Structure 1
């Protein structure tokens, strides 16, 4: 999935305005340390749903690219909600270091420097422009094989199941059909693991 975790120069619902450059230091530190902020479900530290694989500041804001963990319950739930269009918001969890905030006379405050801790998938983001713009739907046979393998199927069984799933999708590539098929795949995987 890709989108903007934060958009610059907008007063959000918390009265915060993130300014260009606010993420520069923290992104550089993450790069040096080989880390990324956590990908969470609704700011819950005990609900990771995947990982962020690319983050960068551009003229608009903090652009993010992430990969959901489809072999976890939380990751599968998030994917289903995203594909079904139930939610599309992103929200940042951060700490403001000393000198990183500038208070305005109107009650707002500017965020000039942020320690980025996590980015969450949420229903209603504080920054209305912080939205997911795309979610990758399974689009190749090998992605289906990987999904089946992640759910415990043998390589041979995963290949056979993926071939059937791929044929079914060729008839209708809509997001709703893909989400229904994903749920059916998960149910069939669980049933096969029980045999």
Structure 2
């Protein structure tokens, strides 16, 4: 079952200016640097409560509640984890800075702010998070879960590799 929060998207084009971002903020079954492991479905009830209250998950800069930098238009659980898609607001000073850092590839981490509702310890002493109240997803320099990243950077790297491969193939065909 997929649970998600979706905000109607404004009529804007997706651009390469760093203001449109998406990626996985959390991955099921992956151990973070603190030894926590989020179980599949841990955010579902929280997302449903947010929708029922007409509230949203906040987009913050480095978990600082005094620095909102954008809007998450879509937050959903899927087979892989917690996927987010949103817009960094260029009208906010810190938003402009964040977009420039994302564009340059200096910032690509995502991190969640939450309250634990239900967790257990496994045989290795790691915390298994079964239900979480999601408050915010931040753009961060160093995510607690190393693989919680913006997809934009990985997608751009893949496109560059594909373009280079195509150039190489064309060059070989000419010779």
TM superposition score category, shorter chain reference = 0.7 to 0.9
Partner Cα distance (2:151, 2:102) in 1: 10
1:132 corresponding residue in structure 2 = 150
Kindly indicate whether residue 114 of structure 2 is the aligned counterpart of residue 103 of structure 1.
no
Greater shift, 6-15 or 100-109, is seen at 100-109
Instruction: Report 1 or 2 for greater relative contact order, CA contacts < 8 Å, sequence distance ≥ 6.
Output: 2
The structure with the greater share of residues assigned to helix is 1
Task: Name stretches of at least 5 consecutive residues in structure 2 with no aligned partner.
Answer: 1-20, 154-159, 161-175
Superimposed CA distance per residue, residues 48-95 of structure 1 (whole angstroms, 9 cap, x where no aligned partner):
101111011001100001111110111001000000000100000000
Partner Cα distance (2:97, 2:53) in 1: 30
Partner Cα distance (1:53, 1:33) in 2: 16
Partner Cα distance (2:109, 2:86) in 1: 14
Alpha-carbon distance, 1:105 to partner: 2.8
Corresponding residue pairs, total: 134
Match 1:40 to one of 60, 78, 87: 60
Task: Name stretches of at least 5 consecutive residues in structure 1 with no aligned partner.
Answer: 136-173, 175-195
Runs of 4+ in 1 over 6 A off after TM superposition: none
RMSD: 1.3
The structure with the greater share of residues assigned to strand is 2
Write out aligned runs for 1:12-31 (5 A). 12-31=32-51
> SS at the partner of 1:112?
strand
1:89 corresponding residue in structure 2 = 109
Give the TM-score normalised by structure 2: 0.74
